[in-house]
Amino acid sequence: MPGSRTGKPPVQGASRRPRPAAGPPSESPVQRFYGRARKAWDRPLTAYYLILGGSVLIIVLGLVMVYSASQITALQMSLPGSYFFRKQLLAAVIGGLLLFAASRMPVKLHRALAYPILAAAVFLMALVQVPGIGMTVNGNQNWISLGGSFQVQPSEFGKLALVLWGADLIARKQEKRLLTQWKHMLVPLVPVTFLLLGLIMLGGDMGTTIILTAILFGLLWLAGAPTRLFAGVLTIATLIGGVLIKTSPHRLARLNCIAATDSGPNDMCWQAVHGIYALASGGLFGSGLGASVEKWGQLPEAHTDFIFAVTGEELGLAGTLSVLALFAALGYAGIRVAGRTEDPFVRYAAGGVTTWITAQAVINIGAVLGLLPIAGVPLPLFSYGGSALLPTMFAIGLLIAFARDEPAARAALAMRQPRFGRKRAGDPVPGKRPTGAPRRWNTMRRRASTARSSGER
Please write the tens of the pLDDT for every residue from 283-297: 999 999 999 999 998
In this structure, of 85-99, 355-369, 374-388, 420-434, the range with the lowest mean pLDDT score is: 420-434
Per the DSSP assignment, residues forming a β-bridge with 136 are 141
What pairing do the DSSP bridges indicate for beta strands 134-137 and 140-147? antiparallel
Is the pTM value of this prediction over 0.75? yes
Specify the length of the chain in residues. 457
Between 244 and 319, whose confidence is greater? 319
Each as own residue / partner, the long-range contacts of residues 260-268 (CB below 8 Å, 24 or more positions apart, any chain) are: 260/370
Between 56 and 1, whose confidence is greater? 56
Q: Quick count: other Cβ atoms within 10 Å of Cβ 272? A: 26
Between 105 and 30, whose confidence is greater? 105
Q: Quick count: other Cβ atoms within 10 Å of Cβ 422? A: 7
Residues 6+ apart with CB under 8 A from 164: 110, 111, 113, 114, 117, 118, 349
Between 277 and 237, whose confidence is greater? 277
Per-residue confidence band for 208, with pLDDT thresholds at 50, 70 and 90: very high
Q: What is the pLDDT of residues 387-419, one digit of tens each?
A: 999 999 999 999 999 999 887 888 887 887 555
Q: Is the pLDDT of residue 450 over 70?
A: no
C-alpha 266/C-alpha 258 separation (Å) is: 16
Between 429 and 64, whose confidence is greater? 64
Between 334 and 131, whose confidence is greater? 334
Q: Say what the pLDDT of residue 34 is.
A: 78
Between 299 and 34, whose confidence is greater? 299
Q: Say what the pLDDT of residue 8 is.
A: 53
Contact criterion met (CB below 8 Å) for 134 and 141: yes
Instruction: Tell me what the mean pLDDT of segment 1-30 comes to.
Output: 57
Q: Say what the pLDDT of residue 306 is.
A: 96
What pairing do the DSSP bridges indicate for beta strands 150-152 and 134-137? unpaired
Q: Say what the pLDDT of residue 38 is.
A: 78
Tell me the DSSP string of 237-259.
Answer: HHHHHHHHHHT-HHHHHHHHTTT
Instruction: Tell me what the mean pLDDT of segment 93-107 comes to.
Output: 96
Per-residue confidence band for 320, with pLDDT thresholds at 50, 70 and 90: very high
Instruction: Tell me what the mean pLDDT of segment 37-53 comes to.
Output: 86
Torsion of CA 113, 115, 120, 123, to 10 degrees: 180
Q: Is the pLDDT of residue 441 over 70?
A: no
C-alpha 301/C-alpha 383 separation (Å) is: 10
Q: Is the pLDDT of residue 386 over 90?
A: yes
Task: State the average pLDDT for the chain.
Answer: 85
In this structure, of 50-59, 112-121, 176-185, 311-320, the range with the lowest mean pLDDT score is: 176-185
Q: Say what the pLDDT of residue 30 is.
A: 79
Q: Say what the pLDDT of residue 417 is.
A: 53
C-alpha 35/C-alpha 30 separation (Å) is: 9
Q: Say what the pLDDT of residue 20 is.
A: 55
